[in-house]
């Protein structure tokens, strides 16, 4: 057991944006909300999965929608708590802990905010080990657990309780409501028991995010490479160094969808990189050849500072390092690949792990 303070939030927000693979939303607003809640209510207790009883009730708290909207459509601050309490009321039971649904951006901070407001512990775990754009794309969903009952809440005070026949309908109905609410909402979803979280959760994601963020910030005073520190912590690989020459972005479907194009710099001068995203970065092509693909993580970092750049913040002229990181082993099962692999997103590609793609590139360079 340990306690999270305001400084921890600085680290977690940065590290979770790295793990978010471009998605999960810019953490800045969520970090400010969580810091304010800690100042008001005190530090947040963080517990491990093993500290939970099997019959404990854990409720994730999260933001849903197009992350770019959060740059202009600020929450009023009460939505996460309102959604959480409404779900407790429907269940007729108080939650024992809060958790993050994904390791990404704002959704690393919103559950800490909710935990602080309600005086509950937060579990050092999530259900993705990264961020994904759709509600069924969780380890819980792949394991057959229901996303509903869930509550969707907006800044006006509207609350919608959703119960569906399957998780695909949860995505359809919640996404429709979120679009009507202005493309961003706060949700409580995937109520799980302690036993279910022990069986299907991705452990240690908050502490990993904190360590990544701390390493990035410490690298400035230690004059070390923040990119190298991230790669070491995540068993990642550097995919490309490039300058953004174009970004194509659309918000019409309730996601941030688009493409970003890079021209190579330094060691990659003369090469090109193209990346597709749907809230999260999905597939990266170096010189037209796949270099990394979902469910492995692709993250764009500022080349000088190592700070992660989420998809809504990609801009022309940014000098970047693009890195890839292996996903949690859960996603490399047949069921996991069927749910979040490249073919689910309409790419005519079979999933190849990033370490194998990287080995092939190294071999080609030798030849």
CA angle centred on 338, ends 330 and 327, rounded to 5°: 35
My answer on whether 119 and 29 are in the same domain is: yes
Query: Is the residue at 132 inside a domain?
Result: yes
Query: Is the residue at 218 inside a domain?
Result: no
My answer on whether 88 and 182 are in the same domain is: yes
Write the CATH number for 138.
3.40.1610.10
pLDDT of amino acid 70: 66
Mapped onto helix, strand or coil, the DSSP state of residue 119 is coil
My answer on whether 180 and 281 are in the same domain is: no
Q: How far apart are CA 298 and CA 130, in angstroms?
A: 10
Pair type for strands 97-99 and 280-286: unpaired
Q: How far apart are CA 76 and CA 362, in angstroms?
A: 50
My answer on whether 250 and 331 are in the same domain is: yes
Give the residue from 189, 205, 221 where a domain finishes.
205
Q: How far apart are CA 86 and CA 77, in angstroms?
A: 16
Query: Is the residue at 223 inside a domain?
Result: no
pLDDT tens for residues 123-140?
999 999 999 999 999 999
Give the residue from 168, 189, 205 where a domain finishes.
205
Average pLDDT over residues 161-173: 97
My answer on whether 197 and 266 are in the same domain is: no
Query: Pick from 319, 342, 333: which is nearest to 273 by CA?
Result: 319
My answer on whether 187 and 273 are in the same domain is: no
My answer on whether 249 and 192 are in the same domain is: no
Give the residue from 188, 205, 222 where a domain finishes.
205
Which stretch of 69-78, 155-164, 189-198, 230-239 has the lowest confidence by average pLDDT? 69-78
Write the CATH number for 334.
2.40.390.10
My answer on whether 339 and 198 are in the same domain is: no
pLDDT tens for residues 96-123?
999 999 998 889 999 999 999 999 999 9
**Model confidence, pTM:** 0.92
Query: Is the residue at 219 inside a domain?
Result: no
My answer on whether 38 and 77 are in the same domain is: yes
Query: Is the residue at 220 inside a domain?
Result: no
Number of domains present in the structure of the chain: 2
Query: Is the residue at 186 inside a domain?
Result: yes
Q: How far apart are CA 310 and CA 313, in angstroms?
A: 5
My answer on whether 184 and 327 are in the same domain is: no
pLDDT of amino acid 361: 60
Query: Is the residue at 345 inside a domain?
Result: yes
My answer on whether 190 and 267 are in the same domain is: no
Domain that holds residue 184: 2-205
- Measured N-to-C along each axis, helices 205-222 and 226-234 cross at an angle, to the nearest 10 degrees, of 150
My answer on whether 117 and 191 are in the same domain is: yes
* Dihedral, CA of residue 10, residue 12, residue 13 and residue 17, to nearest 10: 140
Q: How far apart are CA 79 and CA 269, in angstroms?
A: 47
Query: Is the residue at 325 inside a domain?
Result: yes
pLDDT tens for residues 29-70?
889 999 999 999 999 999 999 999 999 999 999 999 876 676
């Amino acid at each position: 057991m340990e306690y999270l303070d305001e400084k921890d939030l600085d680290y977690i927000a940065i590290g979770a944006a790295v793990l978010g693979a471009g998605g999960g939303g810019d953490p800045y607003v969520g970090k400010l909300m969580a810091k304010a809640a800690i100042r008001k209510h005190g530090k947040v207790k963080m517990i491990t999965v093993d500290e939970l009883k099997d019959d404990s009730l854990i409720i994730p708290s999260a933001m849903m929608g197009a992350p770019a909207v959060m740059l202009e459509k600020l929450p009023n601050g009460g939505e996460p708590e309102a959604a959480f309490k409404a779900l407790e009321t429907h269940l007729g039971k108080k939650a024992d802990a809060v958790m993050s649904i994904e390791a990404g951006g704002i959704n690393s901070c919103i559950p800490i905010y909710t935990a602080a407001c309600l005086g509950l512990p937060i579990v050092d775990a999530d259900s993705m080990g990264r961020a994904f754009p759709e509600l069924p794309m969780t380890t819980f969903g792949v394991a057959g657990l229901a996303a509903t009952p869930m509550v969707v809440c907006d800044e006006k005070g509207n609350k919608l309780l959703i119960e569906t026949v399957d998780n695909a309908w949860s995505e359809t109905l919640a996404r429709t409501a979120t679009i009507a609410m202005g493309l961003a909402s706060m949700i409580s979803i995937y109520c799980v028991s302690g036993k279910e979280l022990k069986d299907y959760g991705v452990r240690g994601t908050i502490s990993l995010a904190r360590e990544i963020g701390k390493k990035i910030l410490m690298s400035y005073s230690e004059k070390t490479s923040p990119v190298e520190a991230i790669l070491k912590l995540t068993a990642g690989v550097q995919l490309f160094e490039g300058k953004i020459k174009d970004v194509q972005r659309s918000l019409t479907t309730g996601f941030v969808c688009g493409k970003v194009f890079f021209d190579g710099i330094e060691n990659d001068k003369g090469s090109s990189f193209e990346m597709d995203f749907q809230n999260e970065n999905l597939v990266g092509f170096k010189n037209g050849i796949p270099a990394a693909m979902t469910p492995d993580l692709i993250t764009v970092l500022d080349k000088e500072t190592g700070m992660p750049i989420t998809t809504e913040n990609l801009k022309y002229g940014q000098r970047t390092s693009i890195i890839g990181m292996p996903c949690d082993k859960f996603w490399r099962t047949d069921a996991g690949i069927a749910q979040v692999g490249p073919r689910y997103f309409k790419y005519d590609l079979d999933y190849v792990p990033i370490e194998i793609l990287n080995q092939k590139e190294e071999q080609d360079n030798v030849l």
